[in-house]
Amino acid sequence: MNQALLTKHIRNRKSYLCVGLDTDPLLLPAHLKDRPDGVIEFNKAIIGATLPYCVAYKINTAFYEAMGARGWEWMEETVRHIPEGYFKIADAKRGDIGNTSTQYARAFFEKMNFDAITVSPYMGADSVRPFLEFKNKFTIVLALTSNSGAADFELQPCGEELLYERVLRTVSSWGTTDQLMFVTGATRPESFERIRTLVPDHFLLVPGVGFQGGSLAEVSRYGMNAHVGLLVNASRAIIYASSGETFATAAAEIAQQYQFEMSGYLE
Q: Which residues contact 130 (CB under 8 A, 6 or more apart)?
A: 98, 99, 101, 102, 104, 105
CB atoms within 10 A of CB 197: 11
- What is the spatial distance between Cα 90 and Cα 246, in angstroms, rounded to a whole number? 27
235: left (phi over 0), alpha (psi -120 to 50) or beta: alpha
- What is the spatial distance between Cα 37 and Cα 20, in angstroms, rounded to a whole number? 19
Residue tagged active-site, from 8, 14, 44, 93: 93
Surface-to-core class of residue 204, CB atoms within 10 Å of its CB (0-12 exposed, 13-18 middle, 19+ buried): buried
In the chain, where do the E strands start and end? Answer: 17-20, 56-60, 87-94, 116-119, 138-144, 157-158, 161-162, 180-184, 203-206, 230-234
Residue 135 annotated as catalytic = no
- What is the spatial distance between Cα 246 and Cα 234, in angstroms, rounded to a whole number? 19
CA nearest to 191, candidates 218, 153, 230:
218
Q: Which residues does the annotation mark as catalytic?
A: 93
